[in-house]
Structure 1
Amino acid sequence: MQLTQCLHTAIIVSDLEKAEYFYTTILGISKINRILKYPGAWYQVGDFQIHLIHDSNIRTELQNSEKWGRNPHIAFSVTNLNEAKTQLLAHGYPIKMSASGREALFTQDPDSNIIELSQG
């Protein structure tokens, strides 16, 4: 077997409206139109897609509350990490800088799914 490309990741969310606000407005990811037979949304980042799947019963718990990068997460490259940090804090989203010392931070979406942003 030879994998050739990562196509998408699925993220379970309990409140689709709050999640869509986070991924569209805060992170600035482009939403794409795909017909779904259940509540959810699709987003496009370069050649990669994110699939939000709504499940009102889901409860995300951090496996490691001290080092957010040691939890399941999705990572994105940003052009300006300080600008991203300012945007997240201005909208009340928590952040933790990477413990490795590199130019990266971790935040949480409204369901506590971990998002990594790295300057790249």
Structure 2
Amino acid sequence: MSCCSCSAMAFLLKAPSFLPPLNQKLNYTHKSFSPINLQSKFYHASVRNGRWNVPSMTIKAQAAVEGDVLLDEESICVNEESDYGVVCMHHVGILCENLERSLDFYQNVLGLKINEARPHNKLPYRGAWLWVGSEMIHLMELPNPDPLTGRPQHGGRDRHTCIAIRDVSKLKAIFDKAGIAYTLSHSGRPAIFTRDPDANALEFTQVDD
């Protein structure tokens, strides 16, 4: 084995400096939690088919809330080979029966703008791309395999698209003026649910700056 290979193996088998030895308990006291015990388990590096398998690490933490019996266990797995680089949600595809009717709702009621940079003639069906912050909604004029009737009255109990907004009360006033039905969050948080002309459920949840 070459010196480079030996150095690589020594590096991979060395535990990160920020973690304690396996036989040492790490106690961290929070004002509302009892001490948390962290147990770390390392899986040693090995060579398979001429390739290095980078060791993965699993950390399990148990936190007991004072006055409660319930224990919360969380597992965090770090594996560089499976990290394919998630960045953000790019767009959500929404089916519609009539593109003009849907655009009237999404543009004139919700105030969304069309992304003119996206091509509209590259696909074998009509559609439009609408900006939602830095992400998009892709309206697609295609047959809808889902039933339009018999769906839950509250969109929060149906599959739905959630959009973060600044002021739920202003959107509620817009819906009231346009005569659009809606429901509010059952949990009491500032969120409002409605459906587009094709019964696709939409949630608008209020977020802070």
TM bucket, shorter chain:
0.7 to 0.9
Q: Distance in 2 between matches of 1:24 and 1:74?
A: 16
The equivalent position to 2:162 in structure 1, one of 56, 75, 84, is 75
Residue 60 to residue 93, structure 1, CA distance change in 2 (3 Å): farther
Q: Distance in 2 between matches of 1:118 and 1:103?
A: 6
Segments of 4+ moved more than 2 angstroms: 57-64
Is residue 60–residue 113 contact of structure 1 (8 Å, CA) maintained in 2? no
CA RMSD of aligned residues (A): 1.8
Q: How many residues align?
A: 119
Q: How does 1:30-109 map to 2 (within 5 A)?
A: 30-33=113-116, 34-36=118-120, 37=123, 38-55=125-142, 57-58=143-144, 60-61=147-148, 65-109=152-196
3-state DSSP of counterpart to 2:114: strand
Deviation at 1:25? 1.2
Q: Distance in 2 between matches of 1:31 and 1:21?
A: 12
Deviation at 1:97? 0.6
Aligned to 2:98: 15
Deviation at 1:87? 0.5
- Listed as ranges, the gaps of 5+ residues in structure 2 are 1-83
Q: So what's the TM-score if we normalise by structure 2?
A: 0.53
Q: Distance in 1 between matches of 2:162 and 2:149?
A: 16
Deviations 1:12-31 (A, max 9, x none): 00111111011111111111
- Listed as ranges, the gaps of 5+ residues in structure 1 are none
Deviations 1:72-116 (A, max 9, x none): 111112222111011112112110011111111101100111111
Q: Distance in 1 between matches of 2:158 and 2:150?
A: 6
Is residue 10–residue 50 contact of structure 1 (8 Å, CA) maintained in 2? yes
Deviation at 1:68? 1.7
Q: So what's the TM-score if we normalise by structure 1?
A: 0.88
Deviation at 1:67? 3.2
Compare relative contact order (CA 8 Å, sep 6+) and give the higher one, 1 or 2.
1
